[in-house]
Structure 1
Amino acid sequence: MDSHKCVVSQCFVFFPCNCCCGLTLRTGSLIFGVLSLIGDGIIACLAGLATSASFAVGAGGIGSLWLFATFIAVVHFIASSMLLIGISNNNVKFIKAYVYANVAVIVLYVILVIVLLSYADFNRAVSYLVYILFMIYEAIVVRSYALQIEEGNQAPITGMA
């Protein structure tokens, strides 16, 4: 169990974490995968509804912005599905694909925040910034889990998580 000691001071962008909020990296990654899957499904639906409503009232610029948000959420939803499959099968390629997709989605959300700020939509910009910070921590934990599997430090799995 010493390999699962929680040392938060070692959790930086370029250094792997040993734990996720006191849980193992596998459990933390699994929780993040489920939360991302649910959250992105909700975001995709709501952004899709906002897109259709914006185009219906003739607000083309805002509608395009919501269409962009819908695209981002759908991409991250697919990546979250890959993460859950990768965790259940210990497939490092799927887990790393999620990390790369997560970084790309973070960049796209930063672009979205810049556009929202140009529209003076500060409330949504702040909410997306909080979500971006959550996604950065999520990427660190999932990347650390992928590194842990590659190094062979993964405890044997006795059943599905």
Structure 2
Amino acid sequence: MGCVVKQCCCGCTLKTGSIVIGILEAVGCGLFLVIVILATAFFAALRDNSMDQPDVTQEQLEAFHAAMAALVILMIVLAVNLVAQLVFAILLACGASHENPSLIKPWIICSIVSLILSIILYIVSASIAIGNGETASGVQSLVSCALGSALKIYFIVVVRSYHLELTQPGVIKNFA
């Protein structure tokens, strides 16, 4: 059956915990999305306004343009990801408040996939940093990964437990 809890942190119900998780994630994704949109606009403007630099060679300018274009593309991909996470977080909050497990399940699946990808990304990032002699940065990346992953796992367990409570009544109550 996996890990199941009877209540969320601070003694609140699984329903309340799931609603709070959904709302907090939606707010966080929304704020981060605004930052990503503003940063994307800034990088695009920086790329477009770089032509007026007299001390820069054509080769340096082309390399800068390529880097800025790649950064803008990366930011757009991040924005699309954030929109998807925002939608899933809203579905979670609505599904939990209306006791609709079919609206909760997409968040669980998305969160598990996101967790796995994040762990892989952090490990690669830490490996690159340590390989380049930046041990402190690599260790910081791994510690950050461990803390963030532990919190995300707990959130997944809470929401999954609530999903089980809705789809299989009695399972959580019978859990020791």
TM-score relative to the length of structure 2: 0.66
Q: Could you give the per-residue CA deviations for residues 44-98 of structure 1, whole angstroms, max 9, x where no partner exists?
A: 1111221222233232233333222212211110001111221122111111111
In the alignment, which of 75, 81, 87 is matched to residue 66 of structure 1?
75
Greater radius of gyration (CA)? 2
Taking structure 1 as reference, are residues 35 and 146 closer, same or farther at Cα in structure 2, changes over 3 Å only? same
Q: Secondary structure at the match of 1:14?
A: coil
In the alignment, which of 28, 32, 38 is matched to residue 27 of structure 2?
38
Task: Count matched residues.
Answer: 142
Tell me the equivalent position of 1:103: 112
Sequence identity of aligned pairs in percent? 28
After TM superposition, the structure 1 = structure 2 runs for residues 21-36 of structure 1, keeping only pairs within 5 Å, are 21=9, 22-36=11-25
CA distance in 2, matches of 1:51, 1:119: 25
Taking structure 1 as reference, are residues 66 and 32 closer, same or farther at Cα in structure 2, changes over 3 Å only? same
Structure 2 segments unaligned to the other structure (5+ residues)? 48-67, 130-136, 172-176
Tell me the equivalent position of 1:150: 167
- 1:150 is displaced (CA, Å) by 1.5
Task: Tell me which amino acid in the other structure corresponds to 2:5.
Answer: C
In the alignment, which of 130, 133, 136 is matched to residue 153 of structure 2?
136
After TM superposition, the structure 1 = structure 2 runs for residues 78-97 of structure 1, keeping only pairs within 5 Å, are 78-97=87-106
Q: Which of 1 and 2 has higher RCO (CA within 8 Å, sep 6+)?
A: 2
Answer whether contact 1:33 1:81 (CA < 8 A) is retained.
Answer: yes
- 1:131 is displaced (CA, Å) by 4.2
Tell me the equivalent position of 2:6: 18
Q: Could you give the per-residue CA deviations for residues 3-34 of structure 1, whole angstroms, max 9, x where no partner exists?
A: xxxxxxxxxx9211122112211111111011
Taking structure 1 as reference, are residues 31 and 62 closer, same or farther at Cα in structure 2, changes over 3 Å only? same
Task: Tell me which amino acid in the other structure corresponds to 1:83.
Answer: L
Structure 1 segments unaligned to the other structure (5+ residues)? 1-12, 155-161
TM-score relative to the length of structure 1: 0.71
